[in-house]
Amino acid sequence: MRLSKILSVAFVTVVFTGTVWAQPQLTGERKAAVDSLALEKVRDLSKYISIIGDKKTPWSEANRVIERALELFAPDAQIGVSSINKTDVIYYPIQKYFERLMLLNYSKVNISWFNIQYISELELQPDGKYVGVITIYQKFEGVTKEGLKYVDTTKKDITIYVERKQTQIQGRLIGFWDVMLGDIRVAETKPN
């Protein structure tokens, strides 16, 4: 785990004792810390996607980055793929999406994310989790061996799940807020 992630988790960590505990509210400084951690995980995903999609990335490195990227997601999360040439959006399980990204039939790929921002506040769900949405814009550029270029910009909505978890460290129960990424839905795709 990178130092920044450890510090982020430590910042939102709350120590508690006992085996039964009430779900604390996510307010004030805790909420700001969780929001920051969620945005950091989305930025990390952006970097991972760029590395995985880059044709210069060695196969072994891309696979290592895929393993890191998968750690960001809730189980069963999916990501939407769109194109200006097709009207349908296809959703893939996260690992399959990354594998397909490595195999794209372009000699050069550049993927960048911009305008990353919350579009909905975190809302408490009946199960005790908080759910929110972060919107990003993704610019995809692919160049074939023949020099043909495909470029589009896609607006995507990323579901964010925030929940209390606990772990035991040196015999003490430690509670912390964990942020997981959920489905990444395509809102719209436009030519550049």
Give pTM, 2 decimals: 0.83
Query: Looking at residue 7, what is its pLDDT?
Result: 39
Model confidence band, residue 187 (pLDDT cutoffs 50, 70, 90): very high
Distances (CA, A) of 19 to 9, 16, 22, 166: 21, 9, 10, 10
- Strand segments, DSSP code E, in 64-148 are 78-83, 86-93, 108-124, 130-143
What's the chain's average pLDDT? Answer: 87
DSSP for residue 105: S
Bridge partners (DSSP) of residue 8 are none
Model confidence band, residue 24 (pLDDT cutoffs 50, 70, 90): low
Residue 29 has pLDDT above 90, yes or no: no
pLDDT tens-place string over residues 104-157: 999 999 999 999 998 888 999 999 899 999 999 999 999 999 999 999 999 999
CB burial of residue 156 (10 Å; 0-12, 13-18, 19+): buried
Taking the alpha carbons of 77, 2, 52, 85 in that order, is the dihedral positive or negative?
Answer: positive
Mean pLDDT for the stretch of residues 35-62: 95
Domain ranges of the chain: 3-191
Query: Looking at residue 94, what is its pLDDT?
Result: 98
The CATH code of the domain at 3-191 is 3.10.450.50
Query: Looking at residue 119, what is its pLDDT?
Result: 83
Cα separation, 92 vs 158, in Å, equals 14
Query: Looking at residue 192, what is its pLDDT?
Result: 83
Residue 10 has pLDDT above 70, yes or no: no
Cα separation, 2 vs 33, in Å, equals 17
Residue 11 has pLDDT above 70, yes or no: no
